[in-house]
Each structure stands twice: as C-alpha cells, then as structure tokens.
Chains A and B, each alone.
Chain A
Amino acid sequence: MRAKRLTSPDPVAPLPGKTRSGVPWPRFGSFGQKYLILFILLFIWELSGQAGWVDQTVVPSLSLSLKAIAEMWTRIDLGSHILISLGRVIIGLLIAIIVGAPLAFVLVRVFPVFAESVDSLLRVFGLINPYCLFPLFIIMFGLGETPKIAVLSWVSLWPIFFGSQIAFKTVDPQLIKTARSMSCGSWSIFWKVTVPASLPSIFNGARVGVEMSFFILIAAEMTGATAGLGWIIHNAGASYDTARIYGAGLCVVILGVGLNRFLQIIRRGFLDWSDYLASPWLYAGSACPKPVNRTLLWLCCLVFVLVFGLGAWKIGLGENLIVTNSDPTAFNP
C-alpha cells in the first residue's frame, strides 16, 4: 500500500475529485454523505431555538414548526391544502404538455416556414411575466380556479414548448433515414423514432416548468386564493403566526424536493438511455447508471395519478373547504 503511494503518479490519475473506486472522501456511506450537512443544519436550527440564541417568536425552532404542522393538519386540514396545491400544479402541467408538445410538433414539422415567423412572437410570450398576467387572466376568466390554472399552464407551457421545438428540430436525420430504409411508414417513424428521440427534451422542459409553476403557485395563492399552501402562509403571515409560516414553509420545501426527486426517478426510469447519449464519457468504465427499481417507478406513477385525482377532487370542493374547516384562530380577511 505504502510502496504503491510512493511510486510515480498513477498513469490514469483520477479526475479531480473522482476516486477510481467511486468512494468519495472520507468514508461515510453515501447516506451519511448525503444527509450529514442537512442534519447538522436542522440540529443548529433546533438548538438555536432551545438555547435561546434567537427569539422563538421570530425563529421558532424545528420542534415548534413540526408541532405547528401537526396542529394545522388536525385543525385546518393541511392535507387538503397540500393536495389542492399539488393538484393545481399537475393540472397546469398536463394542460401545458397537451398544448405545448403537439403545437411544437405541428409548427416544426407541418408549417416550418410559418413557424419561423411565429417564433419571435412566441419567444416574446415566453418572456412575459406570468405573474403580471394574473390580472388579465382574472379579467378573461373571472375569479375562481381558472385564472390560477391558466397562469400555471402559461408558466410551464413555454419551457415545454421550446424544449419540444428543439427536440423535434434536432431529431437525428440518420435515425429517420435508417427507419425509412427499413420501409417504416411515416406513422411508425413518428411513434418509434421522432417521439422517443424528443421525449428527453420535452421532459426537461416539463421539469423546468414544474419548478417554476410551483414557485409561482405559492405566490398566486398568497394573493388571491382561499385554499392551498400559499394561502396558509399568507394567512399565518397576516396574523404573525411565525410557527405556522415555518411549518407551511417546511411543507413547501419538502414537497418541492419530493417533486424534484419524483421527476428524477421518472426520468431515470423511462429515459435513462438519453443521459448516455448526451455525454457518453460519464459512463466510461464502471460508472454505469444504476437502473431504477421498477416497483418504485410504478409506485411513483401511481402516487402521481392519485395526487392528481384527489387534488382535482379537492379543488372541486375547494370553495367549501374554508367554511367547513374554518379555524377560529385563523385570520380570515
């Protein structure tokens, strides 16, 4: 061991920070490595409250925030609010995908000349701030759920549209030629070559869209909604209930990270080949991507459908939610 270290530098020196065995410095398991800093931060948060370094009314400690979550869960039906928020995001996303991807395909493949002249207009649309469209959508669609979902669809529409536009434009012509030389019809070329080749880009667009719409959702719920996580935060902020702000904030963060993880699992499960095509050198040697557990994958899909269904159902009931679950301590404007 020692002798080996003293000899001349390894001819295939590991890249900066990448040991050849794949085990990073020092010997924590991957679990410890991942969660160590997070746990330390959470611990400091809890400790600073308990030890009185910061004022508990300004920064309630972790345990107080968790208590607030539990309290909100039983008293104002936090679960329904979460489902409503997620349901809005998912409905917006589905609308954006249903509109965006086919629109991009039609523009790129059917009317390429027209697409070129429409392109700049669509880019302008994509840059328009979705949040200042909110008043306009209210004028167009009235109050209620429609303007919120319209804003969310608008937010995720453009990343998806531009992602699919690039995808359809850059399908490898070799693949299409090969398929054609095997006498594939245009229909099977579309389904077997064009769609799979462009799915990764569409998916990337959808990921950006989901993240942005989750951001904007909270803001939209803060200003004009009667249900959802944003409403809870706004409500708690208006009544200076910091424990509830932090509790609801924790929920938002956990949901955001969960959503991100979920999309990663879906991506790795269904589109794992695309990473390899994009940068094959990352997979040279032993660093093969670990395939995703199929059960986990289908479980994720099931959860997605379940959340969508329940969320849509709750949104339908949303008008009554506040009345039936009204909390005397909550601030009701």
Chain B
Amino acid sequence: MKFVRKHAAILVFLGLWEALSRFQIIDPLFFPPFSHVLETIFHLFKIGVLTPQITASLQRAIPGFLLALVVGAPLGLLLGGWLKNINGFLELPLEVFSQLNPFLLFHIIILFMGIGEAPKITIVTWTCLWPIVFSSINGAANVNPSLIKSGRTFGLCRLALIRKIVWPAAAPLVFAGARLSLGYSLFMLIAAEMMGASSGLGFMVTRTQEAFQLDRLFAAVTVIAFLGLFLDAILWFIGEKFLLLSMESHLNAADN
C-alpha cells in the first residue's frame, strides 16, 4: 500500500497523459497516448528493432562508466588523501580538463580514433571521469582529521589507514560522484549517438524524429528514461547493500 501511495503520482501522470491524448485534448498525432507508446515498445521488441539498439547503447555506456570508475576513484583518493601537494599543482589543469566539453572533444577525438566505437566510449569515459575524480578528492581531503590521528595513534600503516579510515569516510562521496556520472554517461551517450552514430537509442531518437514516427520517438524516449532509472537503481542498490553497510560498521567501530 505504501508503494502505491509513494508512486501514485507516476500513475496519475501516465493516466492523465493517456486520457488527454485519448480524448484529443492534446493532439494524439504529436502526443500519442501512453498505451500506444507501450504497444509500440512491445511491437519494436517483437520485430527485433529495439534490442540491438539497447545493447549497442549499453555496450558503450557501461564500459565507459566502469573505465572512468576504475581510473577516477583511485586517482581522486590518491590526490585528495596522499598526494595533497601534487593536488595543488593539478587543481587547475583538472578543472580545465573537466570543462573540456565532450561534444567539442568529439570532433577532435574522431580525428585521432576515426569513427566507430572507440570515440564514443572515450567520450563517455571522459564525461564520467570528472565527477568521480572531484568527489573522490573531496571525500579524501575532508576526512575528519581526528579519525586519522586516532588511527595513527593505534599505529596503523598507510595502507591500513586508507583501507580502514579514509576509504570508509570517503566512500559516500565517491559513491555520490559515481551515481552522478552514471547519469551523465547516459546523458552524453544519447547526445553523442544523436549527433553521429548508426546504432543505439540516441540514433533511434534522431531517426524517428526525422521520419516523423512520433510513436517510435516516444517509445525510444520512454526506454531511455526507464534505462536510466534502472541503472540508477542498480547502483543505488549496490551502494546501499555493500558500500554503506561496510562504511557504517567501520565508523561504528571507530566510534566505539
């Protein structure tokens, strides 16, 4: 029951959309009713148009995101916690790099990597990298020093210090950065696909837009929104289950 009450607004919104379009209050040619959009999605799945596009998009988004996570989180933790001196040198260059617009890079990366999968994955990685790096730097730099000092008093070595204190204290921020950049990854990927690709959901959006197949356009947009929700939910689940639990136990241990 609580579930229904919490998500009532979504149902009301969808119902409103359906009703307005069915009764022709808004033009069903431009806004096909939701049921019709759902039908289109099922139809597209059945004739095998949608699945390859979704896999194409995911095959770009997920490796790009993971690469950014693998590079960005250790780099940020290192810069924020251990190599603070170097961080002073790198602060401005990192800021400049983070402002390098991925779409701008798209033109340049294509010159180096050619067209194909590599530039798209590079763009996703580039976009995802910066929120992760900056939040990791922040997380590692803002650890409460009294925790570190007490760790030192207990004679923790550097590795243990990072594993037991810096990481648990910084994990929520790193994780928030990761979640933000997962959102970015889809966001930029769809845009990149809309601008220059021959497969993927973004490509489907432009294609259907040009062909004026608005039911398919709405289908693509709905699938993108659902995909975003789904990925976000997965990441949230992972965070709740593993990261925050481990962090809590660590912090509790530190408190006691």
Return chain B residues, CB-CB under 8 Å to A245.
104, 107-108
Q: Is the CB of B221 within 8 A of A127?
A: no
Q: Is the CB of A131 within 8 A of B107?
A: no
Q: Does A323 reach chain B (CB closer than 8 Å)? A: no
A217-241: CB near B (< 8 Å → 1, else 0) gives 0110011000000100100010000
Which residue on B lies nearest to A284, using beta carbons? Answer: B145
A95-135: CB near B (< 8 Å → 1, else 0) gives 00000000000000000000011111110100111111101
A60-71: CB near B (< 8 Å → 1, else 0) gives 000000000000
B167-179: CB near A (< 8 Å → 1, else 0) gives 0000000000000
Q: Is the CB of A249 within 8 A of B190?
A: no
Q: Does A16 reach chain B (CB closer than 8 Å)? A: yes
Return chain A residues, CB-CB under 8 Å to B214.
139
Nearest-Cβ distance from residue A82 to partner chain B, whole angstroms: 14
Q: Is the CB of B93 within 8 A of A257?
A: no
Q: Is the CB of B191 within 8 A of A15?
A: no
Given contacts A24-B88, A219-B195, contact A132 B229 (CB under 8 A): no
A14-46: CB near B (< 8 Å → 1, else 0) gives 011110000011000010011111100100000
Which residue on A lies nearest to B4, using beta carbons? Answer: A117
Q: Does B68 reach chain A (CB closer than 8 Å)? A: no
Q: Does A269 reach chain B (CB closer than 8 Å)? A: no
21 CB-based A-B contacts, threshold 8 Å: A30-B88, A117-B7, A117-B8, A117-B9, A119-B9, A127-B229, A131-B190, A131-B202, A132-B190, A132-B205, A139-B31, A139-B214, A214-B101, A216-B187, A253-B96, A253-B100, A253-B101, A256-B99, A260-B95, A281-B144, A281-B146
Q: With A and B bound together, what is the CA distance between A222 and B91 in angstroms?
A: 30
Q: Does B224 reach chain A (CB closer than 8 Å)? A: yes
Q: With A and B bound together, what is the CA distance between A119 and B145 in angstroms?
A: 37
Q: Which of B204-253 contact A (CB under 8 A)?
A: 205, 209, 214, 217, 220-221, 224-225, 228-229, 232
Q: Is the CB of A130 within 8 A of B187?
A: yes
Q: Does A215 reach chain B (CB closer than 8 Å)? A: yes
Which of A16, A58, A116, A136 meets B111, CB within 8 Å?
A58
Q: Is the CB of B205 within 8 A of A127?
A: no
Q: With A and B bound together, what is the CA distance between A237 and B115 in angstroms?
A: 14
Nearest-Cβ distance from residue A279 to partner chain B, whole angstroms: 6
Nearest-Cβ distance from residue A44 to partner chain B, whole angstroms: 12
- What's the A-B contact tally at a CB cutoff of 8 Å? 152
Which of A16, A216, A218 meets B104, CB within 8 Å?
A218
Q: Does B45 reach chain A (CB closer than 8 Å)? A: no
* Known contacts A131-B194, A135-B217; 19 further A-B pairs (Cβ under 8 A): A13-B152, A15-B145, A17-B85, A18-B84, A25-B85, A34-B89, A37-B93, A120-B9, A124-B10, A124-B225, A129-B190, A132-B190, A215-B103, A233-B103, A233-B107, A245-B107, A249-B108, A253-B101, A260-B95
Return chain B residues, CB-CB under 8 Å to A132.
190, 194, 202, 205, 220-221, 224
Q: Is the CB of B10 within 8 A of A33?
A: no
Which residue on A lies nearest to B144, using beta carbons? Answer: A281
Q: With A and B bound together, what is the CA distance between A129 and B193 in angstroms?
A: 13
Given contacts A15-B148, A128-B228, A129-B224, contact A260 B99 (CB under 8 A): yes
Q: Does A197 reach chain B (CB closer than 8 Å)? A: no
Q: Does B46 reach chain A (CB closer than 8 Å)? A: no
Q: Which of B79-93 contact A (CB under 8 A)?
A: 81-85, 87-93
Q: Is the CB of B101 within 8 A of A218?
A: yes
Q: Does B74 reach chain A (CB closer than 8 Å)? A: no
Q: With A and B bound together, what is the CA distance between A58 and B89 in angstroms?
A: 29
Q: Does A242 reach chain B (CB closer than 8 Å)? A: yes
Q: With A and B bound together, what is the CA distance between A212 and B144 in angstroms?
A: 30
Q: Does A252 reach chain B (CB closer than 8 Å)? A: yes
Q: Is the CB of A121 within 8 A of B107?
A: no
Q: Does A175 reach chain B (CB closer than 8 Å)? A: no
Return chain A residues, CB-CB under 8 Å to B188.
215
Q: Does A282 reach chain B (CB closer than 8 Å)? A: yes
Return chain B residues, CB-CB under 8 Å to A116.
5-6
Q: Which of A41, A119, A131 is the most central at the interface, judged by chain B CB atoms within 10 Å of its CB?
A: A131
Return chain B residues, CB-CB under 8 Å to A13.
152
Closest 9 interchain pairs by CB? A17-B84, A256-B99, A121-B9, A131-B191, A237-B107, A118-B9, A135-B209, A127-B228, A25-B85
Return chain A residues, CB-CB under 8 Å to B184.
212
Q: With A and B bound together, what is the CA distance between A117 and B1 in angstroms?
A: 12
Q: Is the CB of A222 within 8 A of B103?
A: yes
Return chain A residues, CB-CB under 8 Å to B90.
37
